[in-house]
């Protein structure tokens, strides 16, 4: 299985590319923005595509040629303004969805925010609300497509070492989760067809990731 990882240079993305490359029968194609980011991925044996998510859909579609699945893990980051949140977390996500459609890639994994409901938008702080809005509408766009989607809603992300154990469900109590465990959850999701058409929240827990994913 060849997997296009959009936002590969992010913290979840780096974990995911490594796990894909360690997985027998899987190959990652890392979408990054700058050539100087490439060495990390080439050393893992991953393919690399240099793409600006603020560019044209066709650039993303070219990177998606001949892959079996697309994973959107990109994000503008907490240090950018509302403009980058709009351009990456919303427009970049929608363009990646459209690029997958153009490239005839059916499987699509979206890494969203823990809660993207209208209620969550209203409850969010002034600084966080634009991010929740962007994720809300990106999720909604994906839901209207014919793609074989899964939307993953992680809890508060940490850089703690992964435990390979999570709590996962349509609704779980808010909590933290290691980025490494989210990456492992993505890979398990890609291998589990029963997750197609599903969306679920993930926090740290006591259930092995593969077991949690297959039970959803």
| Bridge partners, 154 (sequence order) | 202
Indicate the SS3 state at residue 166.
strand
Check if the beta carbon of residue 172 is closer than 8 Å to that of residue 203.
Answer: yes
Q: What are phi and psi of 196, to 5 degrees?
A: -65, 130
State the pLDDT at residue 65.
97
Please, which pLDDT band fits residue 77 given cuts at 50, 70 and 90?
low
Catalytic site includes residue 131:
yes
Question: Which one is catalytic: 72, 108, 114, 131?
Answer: 131
Residue 76 has pLDDT above 80, yes or no: no
Check if the beta carbon of residue 53 is closer than 8 Å to that of residue 70.
Answer: no
State the pLDDT at residue 127.
83
**pLDDT tens column, 14-47:** 999 999 999 999 999 999 999 999 999 999 999 9
Whole-number Å distance between alpha carbons of 143 and 47: 29
Per-residue HEC secondary structure of 127-158 comes to: CCHHHHHHHHHHHHHHHCCCCEEEEEEECEEE
161 C-beta neighbours (distance < 10 Å), count: 9
Closest CA to 198 of 208, 185, 207: 185
CATH class for the domain made up of 2-155: alpha beta
Higher pLDDT pick, 181 / 75? 181
Check if the beta carbon of residue 216 is closer than 8 Å to that of residue 168.
Answer: yes
Residue 214 has pLDDT above 90, yes or no: yes
**pLDDT tens column, 141-167:** 999 999 999 999 999 999 999 999 999
**pLDDT tens column, 82-137:** 778 888 899 999 999 999 999 999 999 999 999 999 999 899 888 888 889 999 99
Which residues contact residue 146 at a Cβ distance below 8 angstroms, ignoring those fewer than 6 apart? Answer: none
Helix (H) or strand (E) holding 13: helix 11-22
Q: So where are the chain's domains?
A: 2-155
């Amino acid at each position: 299985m060849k997997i296009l990882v959009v936002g590969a240079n992010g913290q979840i993305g780096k974990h995911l590319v490594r796990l894909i490359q360690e997985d027998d029968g899987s190959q990652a194609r890392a979408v990054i923005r700058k050539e100087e980011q490439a060495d990390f991925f080439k050393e893992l044996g991953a393919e690399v595509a240099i793409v600006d998510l603020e560019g044209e859909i066709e650039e993303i579609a070219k990177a998606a040629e001949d892959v079996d699945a697309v994973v959107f893990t990109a994000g503008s980051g907490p240090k950018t303004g509302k403009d980058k949140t709009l351009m990456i977390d919303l427009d970049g996500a929608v363009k990646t969805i459209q690029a997958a459609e153009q490239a005839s890639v059916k499987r699509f994994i979206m890494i969203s925010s823990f809660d993207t409901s209208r209620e969550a938008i209203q409850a969010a702080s002034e600084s966080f609300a634009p991010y929740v809005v962007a994720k809300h509408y990106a999720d909604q766009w994906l839901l209207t497509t014919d793609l074989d989607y899964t939307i993953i809603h992680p809890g508060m992300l940490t850089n703690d070492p992964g435990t390979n154990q999570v709590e996962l469900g349509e609704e779980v109590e808010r909590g933290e989760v290691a980025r490494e465990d989210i990456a492992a959850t993505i890979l398990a999701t890609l291998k589990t067809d029963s997750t197609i058409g599903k969306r679920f929240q993930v926090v740290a827990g006591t259930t092995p990731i593969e077991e949690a994913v297959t039970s959803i």
